[in-house]
Amino acid sequence: MSEHPSAAFARALVAALVERGVEDYVLSPGSRSGPLAHALAEAGAPNPPLGAPKVDLHVRIDERSAGFLALGIARGRAATGDPRPVAIVTTSGTAVGNLMPAVMEAHHSGVPLLLLTADRPAELRGVGSNQTTDQVGLFGAFVRWQADVPAAALGEHPDRATALADRAVAAALGDRAREDMAAAPGPVHVNVAFREPLGADGGVWADPPRLPTPTGGIPIVVPGDEPAPLPPVARGVVIAGDGAGDVAREVAEAHGWPLLAEPTSLARSGSHCIPDYVRLLESPQGEDLAARVHQVLVIGRPTLTRPVQALIRRAPALIVARFGARWREAPHHAQAVLRDVPATWLWSAAPDDADPAWLAEWRSGGGRVHAPEGWGPRVVAAAFADSLTPETWGFVGSSGPVRSLDRLMPAAPAGRAPMLLANRGLAGIDGTLSTAAGVAFGSRRIVHALMGDVTFLHEAGGLLIGPREERPRLRIVVVNDGGGTIFSGLEHSAAPPENLERVFTTPHGAELAAICAGYRVPHTPVRSRTELAAALAAPVTGLEVIEALV
């Protein structure tokens, strides 16, 4: 039996990637990517053949969903403290273009992805071959690195696959020691030409060449001098945006400042957290407090509310840290923009600098959230927030749901904010189901996902999981208010109602129960608090949908 060059190269590439920590693969079917598909079918089987590495393989028909699934797996992995790039395999042509939304989100949120897209070899490009286009450079500025890999030749040395895997994984993980944007984690595009034959060759898995250096991520180093401790101002405020982490709470507590923490900051906890900050900032008392702020410290990337953006805009002194992959795009009037939170920020301020009255004023105005009454989107969001535990993680879609959570989630006991993730890089409503499914796989946790009806319908195809595929332990809670109601609260609401409906809120009349039935996904409609509480209390066994009709 003779080895095919394309198949041998695909095996060598997979083996080299696994050796560098890439264990999760999402694949969409196609012929040109066949060599990688055959290799992954073997490595992803319950009992891989002798010498083959073991991988977690997920197969999805729609490449757009596949891209978001990979993004979610990478988010889940990173949230468990084990960041690794997740690979996506597609065939050539429009299949590749379908990855763009997930790539854009990954670029802006700094999530490592490895796009392995198949292509025709050089002699078949630019001559009218079927399903062949200009894939090289397709993702432009949204990828950290890209390579166009020529088709493998017979008897080629496996070193080429090793070198390629080395660079791709390093570029995707980023280099925290470097200062430029290209050094943040993010997507990498490896376009691989495969020459026929593309079928399975029954070839053996060779040991990949040994690595000269140990594998794994690049150590985190704070460049240059350690920044000085924070100026000990009396009236500071800490704003924790998406991805800030618990460190934002620690900084606020060390300085005696109020903490305004968005739900996906993972810092919404402790005695200094002001959970009702949005309502407070909208009130006269909050306006007065905002006007007396000396210094604003932004950790992570806040995106949810206008009063917080206003507080940042008018800050007399502003310091920004940990803005994710977008730290270079931080507000221009910031005195300092840092990749990470320096250890010196955790040093306690001298006691006489702290002003206990300052924190007390914020606490009296916004220290407690008030539970929503009756039945509606806020009640659903509150019950969803309550359902999160250390074992049950949360994912929240864009639009109304994340803003509801921002208004009603209480502050958890210090350091115990629930794990709640979201695609806040670009705040799209696309790919939400698949990203949430990916988080369940990547974290190996149960995930509860909260999203609006339009968001659900945008990627209803994310419910499509074949009978041979592992199903995520994912409970999707859809707030069905019959369209994108966020728009009726914005400046567009002054338009004639029929125009507002047709071109903004887009009521759809879709029957979610029938959609779920079509995908054979269990669906539970709920119309009251009691029904919702019962549905949320049942154990999660696989993929299911709770539709809250509000």
Ligand X SMILES: Cc1ncc(C[n+]2csc(CCOP(=O)(O)OP(=O)(O)O)c2C)c(N)n1
Give the residues lining the site for ligand X (CB under 6 A): 398-401, 427-430, 452-455, 481, 484-486
Name the β-bridge partners of 336. 319
> Looking at beta carbons only, is 101 or 185 nearer to ligand X?
101
Q: Which is nearer to ligand X, 104 or 252 (CB)?
A: 104
The one-letter code for the residue type at 354 is A
Nearer to ligand X, 400 or 425 (CB): 400
Which of the listed partners (Mg ion, ligand X, none) does 193 bind, with a CB threshold of 5 to 8 Å by partner kind? none
Instruction: Look up residue 550 and give its two tokens.
Output: 């509000």
CB closer to ligand X, 198 vs 486 = 486
Q: Which residue's CB is nearer to Mg ion, number 35 or number 452?
A: 452
| Cβ(258)–Cβ(238) below 8 Å | yes
Q: Are strands 446-452 and 420-421 parallel, antiparallel or unpaired?
A: unpaired
Distance CA 152, CA 7 (A): 9
Nearer to Mg ion, 261 or 512 (CB): 512
Give least dist CB 437 to Mg ion, A: 21
Q: Could you give the CA distance from residue 464 to residue 187 in angstroms, rounded to a whole number?
A: 25
What minimum distance in Å lies between the beta carbon of 541 and ligand X?
Answer: 26
Q: In the numeric block, which tokens belong to residue 1? A: 């039996």
Q: How many CB atoms lie within 10 A of CB 223?
A: 11
Minimum distance, C-beta of residue 65 to ligand X, in the bound complex (Å): 14
Q: Name the pairing type of β-strands 295-299 and 259-261.
A: unpaired
* Site for Mg ion, rule CB under 5 A: 452-453, 481, 485
Q: Do the beta carbons of residue 218 and residue 112 sit within 8 Å?
A: no
- Helices and strands, counts by H and E, the chain: 18, 17
How far is the C-alpha of 112 from the C-alpha of 143, rounded, in Å? Answer: 10
Output the smallest distance, CB 58 to Mg ion, in A. 29
Given a contact cutoff of 8 angstroms between Cβ atoms, the answer to whether 55 and 472 are in contact is no
Give the residue among 69, 78, 81, 60 at the shortest CA–CA distance from 474: 69
Cα–Cα distance measured from residue 2 to residue 36, given in angstroms and rounded to the nearest whole number: 18
- Full strand arrangement of the beta sheet holding 56-59: 56-59, 24-27, 86-90, 113-119, 187-193, 145-149
Residue 396 pairs with which residues in a beta bridge? 450
Least gap, CB of 381 to ligand X (angstroms): 10
| Minimum CB distance to ligand X, residue 526 (Å) | 17
Beta carbon of residue 112, minimum distance to ligand X (angstroms, whole number): 22
CB of 167 to Mg ion, least distance (A): 44
Closest approach of ligand X to the CB of residue 98, in Å: 13
Question: 327 vs 456, which CB is nearer to Mg ion?
Answer: 456
HSE-up of residue 521 (Cα within 13 Å, Cβ side): 29
What is the β-pairing status of strands 295-299 and 236-240? parallel
Contact 268, 417 (CB under 8 A): yes
DSSP string, 200-221: ------PPPPPPSS--SPPPP-
Q: Are 170 and 211 in contact (CB under 8 A)?
A: no
- Cβ nearer to ligand X, comparing 278 with 429: 429
Rank residues 7 and 454 by Cβ distance to ligand X and give the closer one. Answer: 454
